[in-house]
Structure 1
Amino acid sequence: MADRPEVLVVTGAGGMGSAVARRLGSGRTVLVADASLAQLDRLVDALCSEGYAAQGVVTDVSDRKSVEKLAETASGEGRLAAVVHTAGVSAATASAQKIFEVDMVGTVHVIDAFEEVAAPGTSLVCVSSMAGHMASLSREEEAVLATAPAEELMGLDAVAAVGDNAIGAYILSKRANHVRAEAAALAWNRRGARINTLSPGVISTAMSRAEAESDTGAHMLRMLDACGAGRMGTTGEIADAAAFLAGPESRYITGTDLLVDGGQAAWIRRHRPAH
């Protein structure tokens, strides 16, 4: 009996998702998931024309049943090697409510649904953000974010305190990604699987370009110069980091976050002038 094929799941058909699919998809069945059928079709068509065995699954990560269907589909295709969750929205393009639904609750749906089908060797990489390292939360607030059922997250005091502040919602959601992966690592370990988060800084994507054109964009770009990086990161660099966390070189790494930000968070913590 032939071995079951390896399956790679990539949520999000944007710049990071497409780079990850190409970096990790060779020789595997690639399932790409996105809420936009048009964007999904464009990426799947491109991947197939390049020789990848790719197929699309329309998925709204903010809908638990939609994510559970994706996990079930992936499990049925073969041995689940890796899941890289890049789907998300930003403060420049979405409301606080939408950010919480997609970036925070949606990530919990992915963690929960794929835990049920994870096999020995499966690696889940959730793309978070450097912004998560900027959150100021108490230990108690983080503990609740890490463990509350998905359906209760929108009712938390920390969420209510953000109100309509989209930037605040983004920061809180991305910190929630970090602590959620930490808390989930035990259950994933018991399945012989791993879970980590990956926190990009400013990466050259359509989303980051929209942010650069927003009110906070000039400040963001000045910080890149101040921290010494002098440039945005590339989607290829994020794909390389995801490949490391999804691959055998990191088999003893789980429940943690990898910052890929050109040193921006370190500069903010240690060198940014006090106001």
Structure 2
Amino acid sequence: MSDSTPGSRGGARDVVVVTGAGGMGAAVARRLGSGRALIIADASRTHLDNLVEALRAEGHVAHGVHTDVSDRGSVEKLAAAASSAGERITAIVHTAGVSAATATARQIIDVDLVGTAHIIDVFETVATRGTALVCIASMAGHAAQLTREDEAALATAPTQDLCELAPVVAVEDDPMSAYLLAKRANQVRVQAAALAWNLRGARVNTVSPGVISTPMAKQEAESHSGGSMLDMLDACGIGRTGTPAEIAEAAAFLTSPAALYITGTDLLVDGGQAGWLRWHMPAEGVAH
């Protein structure tokens, strides 16, 4: 099913690339894919093939490309496939990632940090006027405790040097700290990348979700820190998790003509959790 030539019935189409075949990726593909050529990327062939099959059954022109975002060469193959799939790449939404509940610190650094940097770097080379990239970060990035110097390094260091930076080395044995750092790095790296994208007539932003109802979030909720995560939803007043469709709507806005003057910024879609953490959380944390 994956790595086959995309269909072209109806002539050349605009192309939408979605990395990650999980809950958010599937919602984004369905929201943005109508009338366009969909390129879906994932490291799991099973998840990739299942989503591509489902999208085709729903009438979408969908094509799967098996991709490991931690490998620049793999991302370059994805960009090449997207560039040849239709008239132009109109949107890239990067949802692929791992979590602190299910991955090692090394995996988080390789996928969430370096992988996102590869997506930003490689797709900038094929972006044209009107192309928009949205990288899914996390509200966790707003909770990272980094110096201005560390943020500057994470924002501007060449991708091949990221793993050697002192703040990255410092979290190599701590999955949660690695996750916070990686997601903050996603946010500041997109800010720094906006200039290069602007010069191509293209745009790049991050969306930072809070707790969203996906299989990954379910695994996080069942982890040792999951109780605090769910308690925070009540404490901040929202009283529920978000849905993948709500993230898809944010991505749809940021990749649409309505957002042509928005680039290099982060959109929090978290039900007010980051604001509660900063201004209202008791000193002792979330009470059980």
Shorter-chain TM-score range: over 0.9
Of 209, 228, 232, the residue aligned with 2:237 is 228
**Aligned partners of 2:150 and 2:163: how far apart in 1?**
13
**Aligned partners of 1:191 and 1:142: how far apart in 2?**
25
Identity %: 65
SS in structure 2 at match of 1:30: strand
Instruction: Specify every segment of 5 or more residues in structure 1 that has no aligned partner in the other structure, as ranges.
Output: none
Pair 1:21-2:40 in alignment: no
- Taking the TM superposition and a 5 Å limit, the aligned residue runs for 1:173-212 are 173-212=182-221
Of 154, 157, 171, the residue aligned with 1:148 is 157
Instruction: Give 2:117's aligned residue.
Output: 108
Deviation at 1:163? 3.1
Of 6, 29, 34, the residue aligned with 2:14 is 6
- Taking the TM superposition and a 5 Å limit, the aligned residue runs for 1:123-272 are 123-272=132-281
Give the counterpart letter for 2:45 in structure 1.
Answer: L
**Aligned partners of 1:74 and 1:198: how far apart in 2?**
22
TM-score, scaled to structure 2: 0.94
Give the counterpart letter for 1:16 in structure 2.
Answer: M
Deviation at 1:88? 0.1
| RMSD of Structure 2 on Structure 1 (CA) | 1.0
- Taking the TM superposition and a 5 Å limit, the aligned residue runs for 1:49-128 are 49-78=57-86, 79-128=88-137
TM-score, scaled to structure 1: 0.98
**Aligned partners of 2:121 and 2:170: how far apart in 1?**
26
**Aligned partners of 1:206 and 1:107: how far apart in 2?**
21
Deviation at 1:151? 1.2
**Aligned partners of 1:216 and 1:22: how far apart in 2?**
32
Deviations 1:176-225 (A, max 9, x none): 00010000000000000000000000000000000000000000000000
**Aligned partners of 2:157 and 2:12: how far apart in 1?**
35
**Aligned partners of 2:191 and 2:109: how far apart in 1?**
19
SS in structure 2 at match of 1:162: coil
**Aligned partners of 1:76 and 1:48: how far apart in 2?**
19
**Aligned partners of 2:19 and 2:38: how far apart in 1?**
11
Instruction: Give 1:46's aligned residue.
Output: 54
Deviation at 1:272? 0.6
**Aligned partners of 1:101 and 1:170: how far apart in 2?**
11
Deviation at 1:136? 1.1
Deviations 1:5-61 (A, max 9, x none): 200000000000000000000000000000110100000000000000001000000
Instruction: Specify every segment of 5 or more residues in structure 2 that has no aligned partner in the other structure, as ranges.
Output: 1-9
**Aligned partners of 1:260 and 1:51: how far apart in 2?**
29
Worse overlay, 134-143 or 101-110: 134-143
Instruction: Give 2:3's aligned residue.
Output: none
SS in structure 2 at match of 1:230: coil
Matched residue pairs, number? 274
**Aligned partners of 2:282 and 2:178: how far apart in 1?**
25
Worse overlay, 38-47 or 155-164: 155-164
Instruction: Find runs of 4+ consecutive structure 1 residues off by over 6 angstroms.
Output: none
Deviations 1:204-257 (A, max 9, x none): 000000000000000000000000010000000000001001111111000000
